[in-house]
Amino acid sequence: MRILLVGAGGVGNAIAKIAARRSFFDLIVVSDYDMERARDVVAWIAERHGADVASRFRAAAVDASDPDNVAALAREHRATHVMNAVEPKFVPTVFAGALAAGADYLDMAMSLSEPHPLHPHSETGVKLGDDQFAQSADWETGGRLALVGMGVEPGLSDVFARYAADHLFSEIDELGTRDGANLVVRDEAGNEIFAPSFSIWTTIEECLNPPVVWEKNRGWFTTEPFSEPEVFEFPEGIGAVECVNVEHEEVVLMPRWLDARRVTFKYGLGNEFIGILKTLHQLGLDTTAPLTVRSPAGPVQVAPRDVVAAGLPDPATIGPRMTGKTCAGVWVTGNGTDGAPREVYLYHVADNEWTMAEYDSQCVVWQTALNPVIALELLAAGVWSGTGVLGPEAFDAKPFLDLMALPVADGGYGQRWGLEDRLVTR
């Protein structure tokens, strides 16, 4: 397996660091528009693991906005797989570049949505991933696989959902992805600051777009942003967090392969974060259309959302100032295999102190990066295979979860995942 990794930011950086401890690939080309950032990743691997390990990595420059550039780089290095680790706005071009190069493709976020022009808070327009699924026949004809939404959320939560459907439930009422954390970021003086642990560009896109819900008797529909608040109890000391509806890929992925009456995604944002997002929207600072800004050097075209992103700390750099844990998982209700009512929460928790010590990566980006590496290893071994555009639900979940939890000494990733039976409230 020869992998072109497009993007050496927080998640791309962590993907390379996690993969450096594995032996399933021959080469990873770490590419980025900023060549120095790509070189820094390879240098870190050389310093931590030695020259022999680093010899399986190369640094390269890439323009993720140009499919021809992505395809040329993939061909140059004879890439068998293109791993997309850049912002979702570049999905169409990296996706097209991989197919043109005859490579398989993985991403962690899907092509962007467009709200319904007349009824954005009740009807879907263009859904997340619609553009990619529309091209599935092209991938099938080419005998190539595009594994989409293979991060943590989407990704691991989808694997958990498939596992629950196959092994824990005879009938599912709701597949509810629930994401929460108790993370705190402080400045040098020890004061708590606003510093999102993931790309603010992506966070704005997810949280201010109309959330999508799926119901068996209705199909996909939308609601108001931050709707249906609920308090969810997260494990391992995180505790109770208020979660709200947010647009996310799980809701468009899970119903394609799994049988459930309802599919939702709710995120624990907190009142401060919600307030800031609402203010950005009210001021028009969430928009991506460039505005003309007058400066002494003359008019400059700038997108307000890019300005917001530039004014906040890079999520890849805040790890040393962050404390706490993040939890990703899926809450499943329905009837167990014995026919009796059952509720479970399947989850994985990442502790920032541990991820920083082991990988020099903050926990949110590290947890996101873990899952595509496991998926690539399963693909390399032939345990997972397929053609066309497929989500994580299309594959057997057990080999993934077994490899994830297997101790490192035994060839696994040593990442325990949890399954909590919860009190049935129906």
* Residue 126: DSSP 8-state: B
**237: buried, middle or exposed (CB in 10 Å: 19+, 13-18, 0-12)?**
exposed
User: Residue 426 has what pLDDT?
Assistant: 53
Q: How many CA atoms lie within 13 A of 140 on its CB side?
A: 9
d(Cα 42, Cα 320) in Å, to the nearest integer?
21
Q: Which CATH superfamily is domain 156-366+417-422 in?
A: Dihydrodipicolinate Reductase; domain 2 (3.30.360.10)
User: Residue 201 has what pLDDT?
Assistant: 74
Task: Sheet with 145-147: list strands edge to edge.
Answer: 57-61, 27-32, 2-6, 81-84, 104-106, 145-147, 388-390
Residue type, 68: D
User: Residue 198 has what pLDDT?
Assistant: 67
Residues in a beta bridge with 81: 3, 104
Residue 157: pLDDT over 90: yes
Dump pLDDT digits (tens) for 212-270: 999 999 999 999 999 999 999 999 999 999 999 999 999 999 999 999 999 999 998 87
Calculate what percentage of the chain has a pLDDT beyond 70: 98
d(Cα 185, Cα 191) in Å, to the nearest integer?
8
**141: buried, middle or exposed (CB in 10 Å: 19+, 13-18, 0-12)?**
exposed
User: Residue 287 has what pLDDT?
Assistant: 86
Calculate what percentage of the chain has a pLDDT beyond 90: 79
d(Cα 353, Cα 342) in Å, to the nearest integer?
34
Q: At what angle do helices 363-381 and 397-405 cross, to 10 degrees?
A: 120
Q: Where are the alpha helices (DSSP H) in 283-383?
A: 304-311, 352-359, 363-381
SS3 302: strand
Residue 248 has which token pair?
A: 């996310």
Nearest to 22 by CA among 378, 424, 333: 378
The 3-state secondary structure of 51-87 reads HHHHCCEEEEECCCCCHHHHHHHHHHCCCCEEEECCC
C-alpha 53 chain-centroid distance: 26
Residue 59: pLDDT over 60: yes
Dump pLDDT digits (tens) for 173-182: 999 999 999 9
In this prediction, residues 268-291 reach a mean pLDDT of 84
Residue 299 pLDDT grade (very low, low, confident, very high; cuts 50, 70, 90): confident
Q: Which CATH superfamily is domain 2-150+368-410 in?
A: NAD(P)-binding Rossmann-like Domain (3.40.50.720)
SS3 202: helix
Q: Phi and psi of 230, rounded to 5°?
A: -145, 150
Q: What are the CA-CA distances from residue 421 to residues 20, 250, 345, 346, 375 (Å)?
A: 36, 22, 7, 9, 27
Nearest to 29 by CA among 48, 18, 47, 16: 16
374, 384 Cβ separation under 8 angstroms: no
Give the number of other Cβ atoms within 10 Å of residue 274's Cβ: 16
**Choice between 280 and 62, residue whose per-residue pLDDT is larger:** 62
Dump pLDDT digits (tens) for 338-394: 999 999 999 999 999 999 999 999 999 999 999 999 999 999 999 999 999 999 999
Residue 42: pLDDT over 60: yes
d(Cα 370, Cα 404) in Å, to the nearest integer?
9
For the chain, the domains span: 2-150+368-410, 156-366+417-422
State pTM to two decimals: 0.93
